[in-house]
Structure 1
């Protein structure tokens, strides 16, 4: 006979600084310590407790995962979740602990704290500093930020002013949800020449940023609770949005050849999507090998799945020419190519684009029109002129040379300040890189705390561990993700490296 769960009232206080998932953990531990929950008692199901608390299911799942990891609960598959029959030897009467300043510094919304869970129920990172770390006033060493000090503002202002003064009604009317036609044409031409992507302008959809691109793609092609391979570690912003969108994430490990397709096949061969960063893996910087590219395309064909290729900063490669896109190898039309102007121009532009397979154009166009979320025509027209007049190509050429110099400035400064305590493995391209704390200090260094102190000191570095689906897992590396595109000179690089070392020494 099934034993009903005991009556258990759990209350949470959204006014507390303590995250909701930690409040849930505290309530369970207190109930167990007080004897209200005994070994073998069944606890409420995830969905039921989430509904009771009016909280995200992922938030409750993270709390349960922590309690399982600590030995308080046991998951028994379809039978449910129970209080462990072998509880920890010492049960504290009060489980509340002071919340570390580092944790408070990195909190976002409740949704930000919810975990990424694969179909196997793996827990997410504990903290998600996206809203704080990637928006607002630019900070030194902030990942993903291009060189704002060297963008050709005069040229850009002239192009924008030209269209603003022209008075064309198209500049004032509602924008085309699919994008400004001349810009779509220039993007198609540019991708054919630089990335090996052959496409028609009709396949190009201009959006108001990468998140909007993902939303357009998923609304057009995904079904509720579809499973998606996600690189582990993988891009933070994408991971949080995918959870909000109802996707079931399957974290797939990344090694020196990129996403491990064989592991993905073992974890979930029937997933319908894979989100990858083949040219410059985010955040580790590795390049997806040719063998893995072929295997990934083969999986997509056999599973009738879709590959979302995020080619976010592939234009910046410092040895040899930029690599061809994964989309250029796609003979079965299974790859959706995503690009952005945030890295090659500036993020405040809020322009990105997707190249969708021909078979999906009609569906995506229909959804784009229903969303009615086109980007301002004025800015799209200015970007089109920026491209057709040659300014775009000249800017990219100049930035490749400049960024190559700037990344070495910060690398030399880090090596001087940290010595063997920090391992720097430079990728071939991109505008950011990951560093790791050297073996021996790995277990002692809390990269989240270091990054929080760095933020208090005015820097924009991010902790590497939170890019993993489970930041507490043994395989999650401890280190920092560092942007270098705005390091102006050696003196500034040295000053920033010293501040960073002080944050570690503290």
Structure 2
């Protein structure tokens, strides 16, 4: 028979609510198997007779027989006619040996490759499943026209049928690629055709593809400083030498690139709305970078992550549309303009990169879900995308005004708001009294999320401050959060 502790262990496993969906015989089988794997039942040890164990557990003998039969089929026990059931001679699960293995696994660092260690040490890119004020880069989703989206999805399902359940084109469905090309040509002044668009799951995936397909480990890439943390992590994980280039009110300082033009083989830009400063790259600097890339056979990676939302002045044309030499990769995403759960981004590629990038993409995730692509294509073709963006542009402009006013009223002792002309977040510079880490920690204790600016500066010489996202929060939510922030900051200064 089992010892008392072993029997109680089986009973606890059976009664665990997490296992309630399993049939009773499967729960018993798993419980006994766990005793064997943990070494509590060693090789050759006899198991209780099925009748005796059934009585101890208050179940039928057939249930125990079914559990034993499965354990035997999996090789965990031997069943001998006339002798009973015994733990199989699996020395791998012996107590001493298993304990040693567990100790090694818990005490030692994982045996990762150099690239794997770089990815792990970088911490990845984490997004909040349920964002709270003032998480940055999050659009309003509560007013998204979900009923319209569902109606379009039903239309697609009815017309396409089971075809949408198969593998999709790794480059993306033709209707969506055509809709994206039409959109970026009209709204962003791009040079795009459907056959040059690669549909991806995110702009992050596009950056990872650029890093692995256009550059080798050790190659240099010019990066805005400060820069979007996801880009820097993607390029560092690929083993690239990230060369920080200062940003001023006119965008990236091109003179630093022209002074050492062969230091890097690519440059990463957010020219329409620099992250996080909000600066717009001037035309003369755009043209200088295009000339640099053409002369040195380098690449321009242009991330146009939230250019739809501009609240003052007219949007500038993208760099890709100004580049006659085909050295620019244009990256866009619907995460900010529609909703994060859509998981659709894209890249407009030079013709010679379409096939290599598409092949590389097949090794990552194969393709983007066809149903979502076809629904989005119909959403765009029907004019709904443009209408939604125009509506949200007005909503976000109002929320930015509310946030800027409340920060000036309640937080002027601590920060100086840098009101942007576009985007989904507002930078604030600390003016004294609080350290950045203290401010971010105090906010988090109050249930408020702030992204510190210091970590976005590679050179370590940027002013302390934080980003405040505003797009996803109503004026009432913004006011409530700002008042909480004021109390948190004042309490922090008294410590």
Q: TM-score range by the shorter chain?
A: 0.7 to 0.9
| Whole-Å separation in 2 of the counterparts to 1:488 and 1:476 | 31
Aligned position for 2:486:
501
Note if contact 1:209-1:352 (Cα within 8 Å) is conserved in structure 2. yes
Relative to 1, partners in 2 of residues 1:129 and 1:366: Cα closer, same or farther, differing over 3 Å?
A: closer
Relative to 1, partners in 2 of residues 1:432 and 1:56: Cα closer, same or farther, differing over 3 Å?
A: farther
- Map Cα deviations across residues 214-260 of structure 1 (whole Å, 9 max, x no partner): 22333332223221111110001111121111211111111111111
- Equivalent positions of 1:323-342 (< 5 A) are 323-342=316-335
Displacement of 1:158 in angstroms is: 1.6
Aligned position for 1:447:
436
| Whole-Å separation in 1 of the counterparts to 2:396 and 2:378 | 25
- Equivalent positions of 1:480-495 (< 5 A) are 480-489=466-475, 491-495=476-480
Note if contact 1:188-1:199 (Cα within 8 Å) is conserved in structure 2. yes
| Whole-Å separation in 1 of the counterparts to 2:375 and 2:298 | 36
Note if contact 2:140-2:471 (Cα within 8 Å) is conserved in structure 1. yes
Displacement of 1:368 in angstroms is: 2.9
Displacement of 1:163 in angstroms is: 2.6
Displacement of 1:343 in angstroms is: 0.5
| Whole-Å separation in 1 of the counterparts to 2:286 and 2:417 | 26
Relative to 1, partners in 2 of residues 1:422 and 1:359: Cα closer, same or farther, differing over 3 Å?
A: same
- Map Cα deviations across residues 178-204 of structure 1 (whole Å, 9 max, x no partner): 001100001001111111112111100
- Equivalent positions of 1:381-460 (< 5 A) are 381-438=374-431, 441=432, 445-460=434-449
Return the match for 2:272 from 275, 279, 290.
279
Residue 260 in 1 paired to residue 260 in 2? no
Q: Which runs of 5+ in 2 are unaligned?
A: 1-103
Flag the structure with higher helix content: 2
Return the match for 2:208 from 209, 215, 218.
215
| Whole-Å separation in 2 of the counterparts to 1:460 and 1:415 | 19
| Whole-Å separation in 1 of the counterparts to 2:340 and 2:430 | 30
Relative to 1, partners in 2 of residues 1:142 and 1:129: Cα closer, same or farther, differing over 3 Å?
A: farther
Q: What RMSD, in angstroms, separates the aligned Cα atoms of the two structures?
A: 2.5
Displacement of 1:303 in angstroms is: 1.6
Relative to 1, partners in 2 of residues 1:355 and 1:164: Cα closer, same or farther, differing over 3 Å?
A: same
Three-state SS of the structure 2 residue aligned to 1:315 is coil
| Whole-Å separation in 1 of the counterparts to 2:332 and 2:218 | 26
| Whole-Å separation in 2 of the counterparts to 1:421 and 1:196 | 41
Displacement of 1:426 in angstroms is: 1.4
Note if contact 2:414-2:434 (Cα within 8 Å) is conserved in structure 1. no
Structure number with bigger Rg: 2
- Equivalent positions of 1:169-180 (< 5 A) are 169-180=162-173
Equivalences, count: 388
- Equivalent positions of 1:96-111 (< 5 A) are 111=119
- Equivalent positions of 1:97-136 (< 5 A) are 111=119, 113-114=121-122, 130-131=125-126, 134-136=127-129
Aligned position for 1:320:
313
Note if contact 1:112-1:240 (Cα within 8 Å) is conserved in structure 2. no
| Whole-Å separation in 1 of the counterparts to 2:342 and 2:327 | 29
| Whole-Å separation in 2 of the counterparts to 1:15 and 1:138 | 33
Aligned position for 1:184:
177
Note if contact 1:445-1:478 (Cα within 8 Å) is conserved in structure 2. no
| Whole-Å separation in 2 of the counterparts to 1:278 and 1:186 | 23
Note if contact 1:250-1:267 (Cα within 8 Å) is conserved in structure 2. no
TM-score (norm 2): 0.73
Displacement of 1:270 in angstroms is: 3.3
Relative to 1, partners in 2 of residues 1:451 and 1:268: Cα closer, same or farther, differing over 3 Å?
A: farther
Note if contact 2:157-2:164 (Cα within 8 Å) is conserved in structure 1. yes
Residue 467 in 1 paired to residue 456 in 2? yes
Residue 476 in 1 paired to residue 465 in 2? no
- Map Cα deviations across residues 444-476 of structure 1 (whole Å, 9 max, x no partner): 532133223322322222111111114xx3x22
Note if contact 2:136-2:470 (Cα within 8 Å) is conserved in structure 1. yes
| Whole-Å separation in 2 of the counterparts to 1:255 and 1:56 | 38
Relative to 1, partners in 2 of residues 1:421 and 1:459: Cα closer, same or farther, differing over 3 Å?
A: closer
Residue 350 in 1 paired to residue 343 in 2? yes
Note if contact 1:270-1:303 (Cα within 8 Å) is conserved in structure 2. no
| Whole-Å separation in 2 of the counterparts to 1:422 and 1:254 | 21
Residue 143 in 1 paired to residue 132 in 2? no
Displacement of 1:391 in angstroms is: 0.6
Q: Answer 1 or 2: higher relative contact order, Cα 8 Å, separation at least 6.
A: 1
Aligned position for 2:14:
none
Three-state SS of the structure 2 residue aligned to 1:149 is coil
Q: Which runs of 5+ in 1 are unaligned?
A: 1-12, 21-51, 60-108, 115-127
| Whole-Å separation in 2 of the counterparts to 1:177 and 1:372 | 9
| Whole-Å separation in 1 of the counterparts to 2:285 and 2:113 | 35
| Whole-Å separation in 1 of the counterparts to 2:209 and 2:112 | 26
| Whole-Å separation in 1 of the counterparts to 2:311 and 2:471 | 13
| Whole-Å separation in 1 of the counterparts to 2:220 and 2:466 | 29
Note if contact 1:204-1:355 (Cα within 8 Å) is conserved in structure 2. yes
| Whole-Å separation in 1 of the counterparts to 2:398 and 2:375 | 29
Relative to 1, partners in 2 of residues 1:213 and 1:111: Cα closer, same or farther, differing over 3 Å?
A: closer
Three-state SS of the structure 1 residue aligned to 2:128 is coil
Note if contact 2:206-2:347 (Cα within 8 Å) is conserved in structure 1. yes
Note if contact 2:115-2:237 (Cα within 8 Å) is conserved in structure 1. no
Relative to 1, partners in 2 of residues 1:58 and 1:452: Cα closer, same or farther, differing over 3 Å?
A: farther
